[in-house]
């Protein structure tokens, strides 16, 4: 029996690794660069992360790092605790991490400081009466709409590139959403969670790309690599599929794991599920521009801060500025800091960016906002289609993916369409997809 994996990013590589480990030799189909958006560049002594900048330490990621023997090269923050800041009223303001910081934080009004502790104990404050709500609508009764805009909007823009009045609370905060549906208070929900604390962030010495590189090295002799672009997945008799390539030829397989997303997945399933294809094609996708800069260590940055996240409406569609070398000193030479500036999101409306103009504008912007006066350009990376938007009602699309899998045994979806944009989430979703894929195989064999 033959399996195909469409997409050679971290999800596809993880799926390939899991299938190879189970004794299979799948086709791995990827027309572009192996690793997808995970891209690390070494330049002038700097380690530049052009895609994901940090990883969140979760079980599936830990397992992969251990398997690939990369644990000795894992680097945790040199500053602990480090500060996380958001831009509010023309200044960087620290996100409170203690009761004392909460009391004195300008991000919360006086009334909210009095009411929030009470609201956290009251069942039903978080609304659970709809199929879905925006993050703004969901958290507004708990935090107040002003706080949602001041705090959650810049944070979620930094993760998803979207707006709190569009993003789905059900999809992004599934645990809290379920607690609200059950009429639980926020405190009840927090008490029901495993008391392991917040998972730490980390990077890999030499670059996060080492994970995708090592995964590829582990499977390259055990997969059939196809550097083509699939145009259509055509269902055949006896639960088989034909993959039609843009070049005109095709490949028949017994099963297929799709790791692409949004419009790229839409075109694949037009002959399997027209409605799903149409809905996937309508998913908005946020583009991102990632700029790396070097700054002399003599320049003052916000002490012990990882960076600053910005709300909507900033010049150049600014989303965030990360002070990478403050938290992970090894990513820059001793005499320099490394800064990563991220621009774009849905607010940019897909506008293309002119690098020459940004070379002039970004230094001016950093000087005006953060007082950083000396910067030198290192690299700019464009991701025109970086993050599908998990908008209100997105759970219905996930349900369609589930239904399509049931109607087409052997076809499994594992792209960002299923949610989870971080590398740890991508690895987990790949592992879950392979389990579903192999379970269907066993069931159909019986």
327-366 residue pLDDT tens: 999 999 999 999 999 999 999 988 888 999 999 999 999 9
| Cis-peptide, bond into residue 81, ω within 30° of zero | yes
Q: Can you give the pLDDT at residue 193? A: 79
Confidence at 196, pLDDT banded by 50, 70, 90: low
DSSP symbol at 85: E
- Smallest CA-to-CA distance from 53 within 72, 30, 77 is with 77
Q: Given a cut of 90, is residue 417 above it in pLDDT?
A: no
Q: What is the pLDDT of residue 353?
A: 87
Residue 45: pLDDT band by 50, 70, 90 thresholds? very high
Which of helix, strand or coil describes residue 18?
Answer: helix
Q: How far apart are the first and last CA of the chain?
A: 14
The number of angstroms, rounded, from the C-alpha of 225 to the middle of its chain's C-alpha atoms is 26
Q: Is residue 122 within 8 Å of 185, Cβ to Cβ?
A: yes
Q: What is the pLDDT of residues 49-61, one digit of tens each?
A: 999 999 999 999 9
Contacts of 55 (CB under 8 A, 6+ apart): 61, 201, 202, 203, 204, 208, 422, 423, 424
Q: Which residues of 430-442 are buried (b: 16+ CB within 10 A; e: fewer)?
A: bbebbeebbebbe
Cβ pair 254, 243 in contact under 8 A: no
How far apart (Å, rounded) are the C-alpha atoms in residues 273 and 262? Answer: 14
Q: In percent, how much of the chain has pLDDT > 70?
A: 98
Q: How many CB atoms lie within 10 A of CB 117?
A: 12
3-state secondary structure of 20: helix
Domains and CATH numbers, the chain: 3-37+210-283+390-445 (3.50.50.60), 39-95+200-207+285-388 (3.90.660.20), 108-192 (1.10.3110.10)
Note the residue count of the chain.
Answer: 446
């Amino acid at each position: 029996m033959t399996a195909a994996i469409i997409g050679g990013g971290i999800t596809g590589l993880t799926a390939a690794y899991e299938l190879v480990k189970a004794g299979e030799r799948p086709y791995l189909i990827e027309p572009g660069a192996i690793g997808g958006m995970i891209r690390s560049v070494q330049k002038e002594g700097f380690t530049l992360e052009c895609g994901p900048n940090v990883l969140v330490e979760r079980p599936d990621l830990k397992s992969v790092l251990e398997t690939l023997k990369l644990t000795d090269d894992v680097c945790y923050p040199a500053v602990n605790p480090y500060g996380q800041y958001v831009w509010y009223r023309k200044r960087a303001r620290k996100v409170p991490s203690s009761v004392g910081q909460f009391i004195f934080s300008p991000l919360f009004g006086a009334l909210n400081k009095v009411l929030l502790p009470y609201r956290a104990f009251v069942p039903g404050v978080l609304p659970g009466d709809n199929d879905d709500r925006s993050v703004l609508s969901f958290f507004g009764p708990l935090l107040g709409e002003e706080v949602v805009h001041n705090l959650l909007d810049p944070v979620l823009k930094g993760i998803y590139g979207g707006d709190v009045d569009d993003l789905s609370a059900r999809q992004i905060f599934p645990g809290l959403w379920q607690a609200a549906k059950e009429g639980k208070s926020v405190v009840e929900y927090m008490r029901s969670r495993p008391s392991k604390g917040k998972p730490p962030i980390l990077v890999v010495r030499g670059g996060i790309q080492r994970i995708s590189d090592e995964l590829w090295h582990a499977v390259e002799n055990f997969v059939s690599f196809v550097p083509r672009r699939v145009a259509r997945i055509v269902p055949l008799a006896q639960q088989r599929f034909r993959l039609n390539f843009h070049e005109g030829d095709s490949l028949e397989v017994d099963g297929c794991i799709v790791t692409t997303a949004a419009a790229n997945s839409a075109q694949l399933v037009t002959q399997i599920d027209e409605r799903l294809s149409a809905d996937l094609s309508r998913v908005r996708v946020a583009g991102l521009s990632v700029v790396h800069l070097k700054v002399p260590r003599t320049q003052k940055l916000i002490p012990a801060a990882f960076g600053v996240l910005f709300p909507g409406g900033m010049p150049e569609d600014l989303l965030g500025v990360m002070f990478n070398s403050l938290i992970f000193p090894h990513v820059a030479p001793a005499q320099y800091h490394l800064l990563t500036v991220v621009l774009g999101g849905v607010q940019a409306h897909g506008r293309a960016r002119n690098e020459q103009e940004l070379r002039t504008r970004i230094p001016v912007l950093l000087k005006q906002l953060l007082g950083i006066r000396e910067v030198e350009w290192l690299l700019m990376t464009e991701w025109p289609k970086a993050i599908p938007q998990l908008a209100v009602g997105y759970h219905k699309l996930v349900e369609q993916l589930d239904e399509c899998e049931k109607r087409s045994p052997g076809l499994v979806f594992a792209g960002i369409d299923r949610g989870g944009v971080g590398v740890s989430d991508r690895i987990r979703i790949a592992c879950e997809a392979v389990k579903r894929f192999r379970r269907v195989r066993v069931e159909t064999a019986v």
